[in-house]
Structure 1
Amino acid sequence: MIKSHSSKLSPFLNKTVIYLLLGIAIFFFLSWYFSNITIYIVISLVLATILRPLTNYIAQTQFYKIKIPRIIAVILSFLLLVLVLGMFILLFVPLISEQIQVIANINYESLYQRMTRPLQGLEKYIIDNQLWDAKEGFLVEGLKENLLKLVAKTNLQEIINRVLSITGNVLVGILAVSFITFFFLFETGIRRRQLISIIPNGYFEVTISALFKIEKLLSNYLIGLLFQMICIFSIAAVGLSILGIKYALTIAVFAAVANLIPYAGPVLGASFGIIVGISTTGTFLNTQDYIFLLLKIGIVFSIVQITDNLVLQPLIFSKSVKAHPLEIFVIIFAGATVAGIVGMIVAIPFYTVLRVSVIELYKGFKQYRIFKLT
């Protein structure tokens, strides 16, 4: 009896699995082929997830017993987001202005002399000890000639065209993300209900369960990332301010945002802090001042790194997405191999969706819930 039932069910199972795998393959191919659109949609989903609670709260608020229209709530949420981003950008304006002034006041002849002095010492040592059959000035003059050749080969028009192209792509991306995010926020579950309505009855239970778990895990992950950024910003800002580093808030903001890039983020934040610290402190009298500055910045970012590695990352990655740290490590580097920095950032959310979907489909297959004949 059981054997007969299994034999009748087996062809249907094979056919369903083939269609399911084919659908998944087509989905991933289209996501890869239209990668720009996929990235816009992913960014829009993240922004919509962050702004949706605020939008819902504003839409439910009554002003003199008049309910605020949802379109106004969406616009107000966008304005708040733009205001926050604008405040972050304003933190970098004084730093950029000072760097431009520093560059404009550089005495390039003096800088060249200071840069070539160690080479001159090395050159003199080589000639005096006859380590190499060369004439005086071979290192310094060779360096100068190579730099001049490099400048001569630089195509200014090509650089300008690349800058304009990147600027155009960024503007298109901002417009696309804003447009998609607006409609994600404006609709109140209509698309979701339409999507659910077309799901066959045999797949309904598994699909709803997968969607619920995916939303919960991704929501926990985004909240965890926000908490991580606030902690990184707070530790870096307080530490750098106490030690008297200029533009402590600007460095802290950069470190918090850079920390979104797993593993490489803390290094980028510390490097930015060192560059800003050196370039805004003025001309030092001796090497000890440089060492002391690097030591102060290094201490702050060491505390940031230890806190992030021992507390924040296990809490965010392992707890929120329910994955082993080694598993997370492999997925992040796989994302880096496929799509660089962007791949590292989206690797964990993408893997979370894929893993939950596979687990739920496996459960449905094991219990024959999604393969029952209707």
Structure 2
Amino acid sequence: MAKRANENVPAWLRTSAGWSWRLIALTAAVALVFWATVQVQLVFVAVFLGLVFASVLNPVADFYAKVMPRPLATALAILSAFLVLGGLLTYVVASVAGQWEQLAGQFDTGVQQILQYLESGPFGLSVTVDQINEWINQGRQWLTDNADSLVSQAAQSAGSVFEGFAIFALSIFCTVFFVASGGKMWRWFLDQIPSQHRTRWQAAAGAGWYSFSGYARGTVIIAFVDGVLAFVLLTILGVPLAAPLAVLVFIGAFIPLIGAPLAMIIAAVVALAANGIVTALIVTIGIALIGQLEGHVLQPLIMGKQVALHPLVIGLGVTAGTVLAGILGAIIAVPLMAVAWTVFSTLRGDRPHPELDDEPSGLRDGPLAVAPVVDVPPADPAPGGRTPSDASEETPDK
């Protein structure tokens, strides 16, 4: 009866039903992953940052490991990173302290010029000093009325700062082990997988790590180049606080699509307040050209095909990540999508990175760098043409 009932169901309906329950199961699995990630968001972010740091520091540790033990090379690589970042931060703070008073005076002059332009602007827009004073008084009244909520938000921000330090400390802890003994950790994980599946896991993980490390290292290199070019441009134009603004451009490069434009706007505003509208226009055009150089020259040259995602997919992914997790989601959306697509393509049998075919393990460096995985051959047949597993599954007749 059941067979006859199935014959009465149209083929298209059976096919649609089969795909429907598969899509429902896939959606439920993805939702479960997102829910679990949110529950341990601090740990997830720390591990993600640890992998990013490891992808950047691992080549440095490999270089040091040529003349010293791996643990010492790892410590020296992390110390080198701290010295470089600490030197940049010290330079930025010194620059701000030395030019802050000058910038404050120039900014006040620029604001007065903007107000005068608005009072006699060609577009019929008129803003008087009395109106500005009224807006300032309204702002003060709003601060007085919302003091309690602002205090509570400040307390929440203090908690966020503490969480940020905790995430950073945990990410450094993870980085130490990823760089020093990531291969051993990955080998232990492979040992937990049935031998007949280890080759596919190794190939998929190798391709995924190749995409992730390429994106992370490429982003750092591109952000550094953007920051240097912005610093040179702002210094030539005589814009105050060129170093902090260049660092802002460097940081903005880590946020796809929206980070660099925001940094450009801030730099243009400072240039407008300090040096006038002509300098602001030159800064805007110059940083826009730096963005074009990044998109059309640096990214294809540095990242190559390691992150083969269409710009539409990147835009939708960054938007979805921003909606789900704010700035954090915007930052991690692109590398996660790149890794997911690479792993899926590899498991499907495609070759997203043919350049890895020359290396049996599919891995060049990093926490997943292990020896090639060799499939374990089946056991020799037992007497009578049966394998030992077949013989063990039989039960003697009573």
Distance 2:66 2:139 in 1: 63
Q: Which range moved further: 90-99 or 215-224?
A: 90-99
Where does residue 243 of structure 1 map in the other structure? 237
Distance 2:247 2:225 in 1: 11
Q: CA deviation at 1:118?
A: 8.4
Where does residue 298 of structure 1 map in the other structure? 284
Q: What is the aligned residue count?
A: 324
Asked if the contact 1:45/1:181 (under 8 Å) is kept, the reply is: yes
Q: Which range moved further: 167-176 or 111-120?
A: 111-120
Taking a change above 3 Å as real, the CA distance of residues 319 and 360 of structure 1, as seen in their structure-2 partners, is closer
Taking a change above 3 Å as real, the CA distance of residues 267 and 172 of structure 1, as seen in their structure-2 partners, is same
- Aligned counterparts, 1:163-182, within 5 A: 163-182=157-176
From 304, 324, 327, the counterpart of 1:338 = 324
Where does residue 358 of structure 2 map in the other structure? none
From 249, 266, 274, the counterpart of 1:272 = 266
CA offsets, 1:8-42, max 9 Å, x none?
xxxxxx9xx99x96877654442232122111100
**Alignment-mate amino acid for residue 76 of structure 1:** L
Where does residue 44 of structure 2 map in the other structure? 38
Q: CA deviation at 1:214?
A: 1.0
Distance 2:287 2:249 in 1: 9
Q: Percent identity?
A: 24
**Alignment-mate amino acid for residue 295 of structure 1:** L
TM-score, reference length from structure 2: 0.68
Distance 2:31 2:137 in 1: 54
From 323, 329, 337, the counterpart of 1:351 = 337
TM-score, reference length from structure 1: 0.72
Runs of 4+ off more than 6 Å: 22-25, 102-108, 110-122
Taking a change above 3 Å as real, the CA distance of residues 80 and 337 of structure 1, as seen in their structure-2 partners, is same
Taking a change above 3 Å as real, the CA distance of residues 114 and 154 of structure 1, as seen in their structure-2 partners, is farther
Segments of 5+ residues of structure 2 without an aligned counterpart are: 1-18, 351-388, 390-398
Taking a change above 3 Å as real, the CA distance of residues 106 and 261 of structure 1, as seen in their structure-2 partners, is closer
Taking a change above 3 Å as real, the CA distance of residues 112 and 145 of structure 1, as seen in their structure-2 partners, is farther
Where does residue 76 of structure 2 map in the other structure? 76
Where does residue 57 of structure 1 map in the other structure? 63
CA offsets, 1:104-131, max 9 Å, x none?
88999x9999998889999xx99xxxxx
Q: Pick the structure with more helix per residue.
A: 1
> Could you say what the CA RMSD is over the residues aligned between the two structures, in angstroms?
3.9
Where does residue 311 of structure 2 map in the other structure? 325
Distance 2:259 2:135 in 1: 33
Where does residue 90 of structure 1 map in the other structure? 90
From 171, 174, 193, the counterpart of 1:199 = 193
3-state SS, counterpart of residue 60 of structure 1: coil
Segments of 5+ residues of structure 1 without an aligned counterpart are: 1-13, 62-67, 127-135, 282-288, 365-373
Taking a change above 3 Å as real, the CA distance of residues 337 and 312 of structure 1, as seen in their structure-2 partners, is farther
3-state SS, counterpart of residue 320 of structure 1: coil
Taking a change above 3 Å as real, the CA distance of residues 319 and 91 of structure 1, as seen in their structure-2 partners, is same
